[in-house]
Structure formats: C-alpha cells, structure tokens
Amino acid sequence: MDWSLFDPTGHRKYLTAAERRAFIKAAMGQTPEVYTLCLVLKDTGCRLSEALALTADHIDTRTGTIVFRSLKKRRLGVHRAVPVSPTLLSELERVHGLRRLQDAPDGGASGRLWPWHRMTGHRRVKEVMAAAGVHGPHATAKGLRHGFGVAALERGIPITLLQKWLGHAKLATTAIYGDVVGAEERRMARKLWD
C-alpha cells in the first residue's frame, strides 16, 4: 500500500504544532471527559478505537505509561506502552478517578474510561476540531495521530522508538512521517534562498 501524509488532492492529513495547540485549547472548553480523550489522542498518537478501549488497569502511574492493546493487529495480546506526561496522568486522575478504579477488586479492568461508541468519539473530536478552527482532511483523530508522528520526528525522537509507540509492524510505515517539510528541512532550504 502506498502511504502518504497528503490526500489525493494534495491536502495534508496531519495537524501542525499550532493546530494541535489550538485543538487542546478548544478541548479545555468541553466536558472533562472530552478534554481527557483529546489529551490522550494528542499526546500518545494512539488510534481513536485504542483510546476508547482504555481501562484504568492499563494506565501505569508508577512508570508513567499508558499500555494500549493494538486493535489493528490480527491476533490478540499485542500491547504497547507509550510514555505520557505527569500532566496527562494527573488529568486522568482528576477526571476519571484512576486510583479509585485501580483499587477496585478487578484493578480497574471492568469499565472503559470513555464508554462511548467509536462514532460518538469521532463526533466529539470533530466538534473540538471545529471549535479550534481546524478544517479539512486533517481535522480528525487520525490527523492527530499523524501530527504526533510528525512532531516526534521533528523533535528528534528516534524513528524506531516512534515505530514502537505507534504500533507499526514495519519501519517503512513510520518513515512516512519524515516526508513533511519540517523545521530542519526549512533550515537547510534557507541556505539556498540566501
């Protein structure tokens, strides 16, 4: 399959850093549950279905990671741990009561943090995108995932680590995130303009 960060008409499918900031700012004006979903999508690069499947027992506050079950894999039991900020963990605690859920007899495995269907989650993300003034093919949860990948490479995260965080089976899939005009590429091109 020929993967690209641009749609057939040449429009990008990823959010820029400024759009990601505007998205989170707009999410702050939503319900706390919508806000935390938006934070998880932006800060982990997970798929919407992976976020909606999260239960409290898959959030490890000691190691500062969220463990996603890869729903796109064809076999069960494929997981990946993605490091997250203390701010995200604290927001998940504040809104969802992680400690209380994790202290339950099942360790927090019985209830999803967002008990919504995928279409409801998709609608919530689209509403926040509209409130942020982000429109186009990139104004989706997938656009956030792509934006995460682009931002990670622009900040010097090794591509193999990004591959692990995104749950890609092949490095070639992760490599598409290097096909954008990032800050480093613009600095090199600037030498030609002078």
Over residues 39-83, the pLDDT tens digits come to 999 999 999 999 999 999 999 999 999 999 987 656 677 899 999
Place of tokens 């040449």: 10
Of the candidates 185, 177, 180, 121, the residue with the CA atom closest to the CA atom of residue 145: 177
pLDDT greater than 80 at residue 179: no
Least confident of 26-30, 75-79, 85-89, 118-122: 75-79
Amino acid in position 69: R
Which helix (H) or strand (E) covers residue 125, if one does? helix 118-132
Q: Does pTM surpass 0.95?
A: no
Q: What is the DSSP string of 12-80?
A: B-S--HHHHHHHHHHHTTS-HHHHHHHHHHHHH---HHHHHT-BGGGEETTTTEEEEE-SSSSSS--EE
User: Tokens for 46?
Assistant: 């997970």
Q: How far apart are CA 50 and CA 189, in angstroms?
A: 38
pLDDT greater than 50 at residue 1: no
